[in-house]
Each structure stands twice: as structure tokens, then as C-alpha cells.
């Protein structure tokens, strides 16, 4: 089953989505800040990241653009964000 990271600065919303996806059988991990998401990605490579783009501690879109080129994610299929 896919590993999904849910990153949302609003802990209640992130937890709700994470719990729902977990009930559907996905292995979910939650982060409430960009720095927490970055630490999580260093430990395990997700299949999917569901995240907001505006975090108090950084720009989510900037992070995604860097993560796509990162060695851990380089060979992953990031649909819609990278040319094939």
C-alpha cells in the first residue's frame, strides 16, 4: 500500500485527512510544519505527499521543487510536477 505524507499547518485538518486515509488502508505520516515534513522525508520516502503550500516556517512550493530533484525522490514518478 502507498505511503502518504500529509503536511498541514492546521493539525486538526491534517489529522482528519491522515486518519481517513489510514482507515482506507494507506500508511500515513503527518507533519504540521515544513521542517517536520523535511525530517520525515529523510527517514522514509513517500509515494504521495499531500500538503498545503504556505507554512509559517517556509514555502511548500519551493520545498516541492527542491524535493523533486532530491536523490531520494529523483526516480519517483511525481505526476503533474515533472516532465516525462
Length of the chain (residues): 84
Pairwise CA distance, residues 22 & 9, whole Å: 19
**Measured between alpha carbons, how far apart are the two ends of the chain, in Å?**
24
pLDDT digits (tens, 9 = 90+) for 1-30: 889 999 999 999 999 999 999 999 999 999
Phi, psi of 67 (to 5 degrees): -65, -35
Cα distances (Å, whole numbers) of residue 12 to 26, 64, 80? 19, 23, 28
Does the predicted TM-score (pTM) go above 0.85?
A: no
In this predicted structure, the answer to whether residue 76 has a pLDDT above a threshold of 60 is no
> Domain 3-69's class?
alpha beta
Report domain extents, the chain. 3-69
Residue 75 confidence class, pLDDT cut points 50, 70, 90: low
pLDDT at position 70 is 59
Amino acid at each position: 500500500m502507498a505511503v502518504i505524507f500529509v503536511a498541514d499547518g492546521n493539525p486538526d485538518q491534517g489529522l482528519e485527512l491522515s486518519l481517513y486515509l489510514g482507515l482506507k488502508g494507506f500508511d500515513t505520516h503527518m507533519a504540521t510544519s515544513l521542517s517536520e515534513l523535511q525530517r520525515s522525508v529523510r527517514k522514509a520516502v513517500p509515494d504521495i505527499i499531500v500538503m498545503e503550500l504556505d507554512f509559517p516556517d517556509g514555502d511548500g512550493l519551493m520545498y516541492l521543487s527542491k524535493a523533486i530533484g532530491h536523490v531520494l525522490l529523483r526516480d519517483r514518478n511525481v505526476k503533474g510536477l515533472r516532465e516525462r
